[in-house]
Amino acid sequence: MENLEELQDLLPKYEEIEEILLKNPEANYVISLALKVLKDFVRDLDKTSEQWEESSYLIQALVDKCWESIHTDHFSKIPLYVRQIYSIACYLKIFFLLLENRELKQIEKCSKILDEALLIGYSQKLYENGDRLVEKLMQIFNDKLNLFEDLKLPIIENPPRVNALCDIPRLECPSVEVFKRGYVEGEQPVLLLNTLTEWPALKLWPDLNYILKLAGNRMVPIEIGSNYSNEEWSQQLMKLRDFLERQFSTSSEISSRKVEYLAQHELFEQIPLLKKDFNVPDYCSLRSSNTDVDIKAWLGPEGTVSPLHYDPKHNLLCQVFGSKRIILASPKDSQNLYTHESEFLKNTSQIDADAVDYQKFPLVANVKFYYLKLQAGDCLYMPPKWWHYVRSLSPSFSISFWWE
């Protein structure tokens, strides 16, 4: 296993996280003590001292306490610093466990804790070496837990590129200024052709074995059912390996396969190694605030559906492989689109935009829809609150960039 002393150098310096810790005196004491204890004991593996045992116990208690705080209220209401402290405490807990022993069962336990730190906590820009620590730990866990020799996934072939019907403007790699003046300021959607040709992801990710090797052991949230507005829809945490095998393996029975979708997930915060395969398009630099661009992953088989809905932010949907049918409608038509009454679905229409029931929803006859096909290497820009329906026409991987 990687030298623990080298890994310890990737833990945060107290000064880097002091501002976060001062918001919680208990966490401040526990984490500052753990950082000192780990620094000493990684170099001198004498685990007999009471201070080592106390610190290990306190870190475990802090992880448990943060977990309870996060799960006692709606996720959106949890203070950010609580999730940040949870991530830091999980990193430290992993170190204490690795110092105890490095058997396979312990590695599996540490791998699960790392996923929880990334999924439940908040690790984005936490401190300078945070991403490097996560990368190193993932590499170690993947090497020790690499059980993929028996699974061979296909290389996805993109459908032949076609000059498909498109009801909105199409541009070939416009300048940022042209994009800004014509479409962002004009609040008009536009299809940007062949915009991602420099992304390594376009060549690497269609080979699903590449993704499997980098991230097969990671736990990810998977939507079960083709459409989140249907009653039978559900979500489940599972290993990415299991999702890829069920949805893409040639040995899986297609006829009995339930549609599953890795949708709207911050996969690249969880698996930083994948970030190296793409860059944030320059068009996202037009954001008016200092907030980060939200980057979401969408991976699934043919037949996944995002029902007609809108998002409150600017949205650049980029297609890595596969193709999607997309139907748009202007915010001006919102009163004719029969939104759901529930809080969870208030930004979602009740209609099936691809097969409208005009008897049940007569006002839809007043709506102007725009149809297009999103193909590999292209990006679709959608201004805030533009309605969009998305259906995958083949196995598909998309990345969305949202900004304000």
Q: What is the pLDDT of residues 350-402, one digit of tens each?
A: 999 999 999 999 999 999 999 999 999 999 999 999 999 999 999 999 999 99
Give the model's pLDDT for residue 181. 93
d(C-alpha 351, C-alpha 307), whole Å: 8
Establish if 152 belongs to a structural domain. no
Say whether both 191 and 299 belong to one domain. Answer: yes
Confidence label for 100 from pLDDT (cuts 50, 70 and 90): confident
Report which of 148, 145, 196, 201 is spatially closest to residue 173, judged by C-alpha positions.
196
Say whether both 58 and 185 belong to one domain. Answer: no
Say whether both 97 and 240 belong to one domain. Answer: no
Say whether both 139 and 190 belong to one domain. Answer: no
d(C-alpha 53, C-alpha 281), whole Å: 48
Report pTM: 0.85
DSSP string for residues in 371-400: EEEE-TT-EEEE-TT-EEEEEESSSEEEEE
Say whether both 203 and 305 belong to one domain. Answer: yes
Say whether both 216 and 303 belong to one domain. Answer: yes
d(C-alpha 41, C-alpha 391), whole Å: 54
Close Cβ partners of 343 (under 8 Å, ≥ 6 residues apart): none
Structure tokens at 246: 């069920």
Establish if 362 belongs to a structural domain. yes
Establish if 163 belongs to a structural domain. no
* Residue span of the structural domain in which 383 resides: 170-403
pLDDT digits (tens, 9 = 90+) for 236-277: 889 999 999 999 987 655 556 788 999 999 999 888 889 999
Handedness of CA 164, 168, 169, 170 (dihedral sign): negative
Residue 226 pLDDT > 80, yes or no?
A: no
Contact criterion met (CB below 8 Å) for 398 and 361:
no
Counted domains in the chain:
2
Establish if 153 belongs to a structural domain. no
Give the model's pLDDT for residue 397. 98
**Cα 341 → chain centroid:** 28
Q: What's the Cα-to-Cα distance from 29 to each of 22, 23, 49, 174, rounded to whole Å?
A: 9, 11, 18, 53
Q: How many CB atoms sit inside 10 A of residue 156's CB?
A: 19
Residue 3 pLDDT > 80, yes or no?
A: no
Confidence label for 74 from pLDDT (cuts 50, 70 and 90): confident
Give the model's pLDDT for residue 252. 57
List phi, psi (to 5°) of 403. -150, 165
Confidence label for 159 from pLDDT (cuts 50, 70 and 90): confident
Establish if 73 belongs to a structural domain. yes
Give the model's pLDDT for residue 253. 59
Domain holding 314: CATH number? 2.60.120.650
Say whether both 212 and 284 belong to one domain. Answer: yes
Per-residue pLDDT, averaged over 170-174, amounts to 93
- Least confident residue range of 91-95, 135-139, 144-148, 231-235: 144-148
Per-residue pLDDT, averaged over 191-218, amounts to 93
